[in-house]
């Protein structure tokens, strides 16, 4: 059994709760410590109930709460090997384990996907518990068959749908920031995500959470409609054959349960 609850998702901060019957994992802790605590409390959890924090990469929107969290609670941190030392500089009473390829937290097996992002190192992850399989990939600027293969054997995925290209190009960001976001080491656009979903149309993926939306260059409606249209072009109907949710920056009610 796996239960996935996006707590905060977007360019301003990211944190997702992943639970099995015996362990609770936080995927990233990139939002205010107080807000994460409140979100956990709403789900009946305290920091001491968290078995591990798994970090994707060193950008602030993924690790902002780590210093405060680890000052209060000694939680084991897992981070990509190449950034483990960077993360160690941010934590107090917690040990940092280096992720090479795969590892285990209680009854959850975790494996990684190497993202293409302007970080020292950025991983997406797959969480497997019994027959339940869930993957989360954000902060990657391009996709390949490797990504399709990584996601394709999961029942549920959380996938970046960062920006609408037209909104970004017409928006107020300066040229170099626009170029960074659009680059192969930036973020996936709605259109790129739609292409990925088309390729996943006839795989085991039945639940999609669109994640890491830009507050300035996207809307939940545009991202959702783009994904629905992508599936429709493959003869697949949202709400019947596949469920699509859009994770919110500030508050999320949705919990995806996999038996
Ligand atoms: Zn990033
Ligand atoms: Zn990010």
Mean of pLDDT over the chain: 97
Query: Is the model's pLDDT at 14 over the cut of 90?
Result: yes
pLDDT digits (tens, 9 = 90+) for 52-61: 999 999 999 9
Residue 168: predicted pLDDT: 96
Q: What is the mean pLDDT of residues 84-96?
A: 95
pLDDT digits (tens, 9 = 90+) for 115-140: 999 999 999 999 999 999 999 999 99
Q: How confident is the model at residue 94 (pLDDT cuts 50, 70, 90)?
A: confident
The Å distance, Cα 226 to ligand 1 centre, comes to 23
Global pTM? 0.97
pLDDT digits (tens, 9 = 90+) for 157-213: 999 999 999 999 999 999 999 999 999 999 999 999 999 999 999 999 999 999 999
The Å distance, Cα 196 to ligand 1 centre, comes to 20
Rg (CA), the chain: 17
Q: How confident is the model at residue 154 (pLDDT cuts 50, 70, 90)?
A: very high
> Facing residues of 245 across strands?
209
The Å distance, Cα 132 to ligand 2 centre, comes to 26
The Å distance, Cα 122 to ligand 1 centre, comes to 8
Residue 119: predicted pLDDT: 97
Q: Taking the CB of residue 241, how many other CB atoms lie within 10 A of it?
A: 12
Q: How many domains does the chain have?
A: 1
Residue 220: domain span? 2-258
pLDDT digits (tens, 9 = 90+) for 17-47: 999 999 999 999 999 999 999 999 999 999 9
Q: Which ligand is nearest to the CA of 59?
A: 1
The Å distance, Cα 30 to ligand 2 centre, comes to 9
Q: Helix 190-199 vs helix 145-152: angle between axes, to the nearest 10 degrees?
A: 60
Question: Could you tell me the CATH number of the domain that includes residue 13?
Answer: 3.60.15.10
Q: Which ligand is nearest to the CA of 30?
A: 2
pLDDT digits (tens, 9 = 90+) for 225-249: 999 999 999 999 999 999 999 999 9
What are the φ and ψ backbone dihedral angles of 257, each rounded to 5 degrees? -110, 130
Q: Taking the CB of residue 243, how many other CB atoms lie within 10 A of it?
A: 14
As a whole number of angstroms, the distance between CA 109 and CA 111 comes to: 7
Residue 13: predicted pLDDT: 98
As a whole number of angstroms, the distance between CA 93 and CA 101 comes to: 25
The Å distance, Cα 235 to ligand 2 centre, comes to 32
């Amino acid at each position: 059994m796996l239960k996935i609850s996006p707590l905060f998702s977007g360019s301003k901060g990211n944190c997702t709760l992943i639970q099995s019957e015996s362990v609770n994992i936080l995927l990233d802790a990139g939002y205010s410590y107080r807000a994460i605590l409140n979100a956990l409390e709403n789900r009946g959890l305290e920091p001491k109930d968290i078995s591990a924090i798994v970090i994707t990469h060193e950008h602030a929107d993924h690790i902002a709460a780590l210093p405060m969290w680890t000052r209060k609670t000694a939680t084991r941190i897992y981070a990509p090997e190449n950034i483990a030392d960077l993360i160690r500089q941010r934590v107090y009473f917690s040990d940092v384990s280096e992720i090479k390829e795969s590892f285990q937290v209680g009854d959850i097996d975790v494996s990684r996907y190497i993202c293409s992002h302007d970080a020292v190192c950025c991983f997406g992850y797959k969480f497997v518990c019994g027959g339940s399989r869930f993957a989360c990939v954000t902060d990657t600027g391009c996709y390949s068959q490797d990504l399709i293969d990584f996601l394709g054997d999961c029942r549920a995925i959380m996938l970046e749908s960062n920006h609408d290209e037209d909104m970004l190009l017409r928006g107020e960001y300066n040229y170099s920031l626009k170029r960074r976001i659009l680059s192969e080491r930036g973020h996936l656009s709605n259109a790129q995500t739609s292409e990925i979903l088309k390729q996943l149309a006839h795989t085991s993926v039945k639940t999609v959470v669109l994640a890491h939306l830009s507050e300035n260059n996207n809307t939940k409606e545009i991202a959702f409609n783009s994904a629905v249209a992508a599936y429709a072009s493959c003869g697949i109907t949202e709400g019947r054959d596949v469920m699509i949710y859009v994770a919110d920056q500030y508050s999320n009610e949705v919990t995806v349960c996999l038996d």
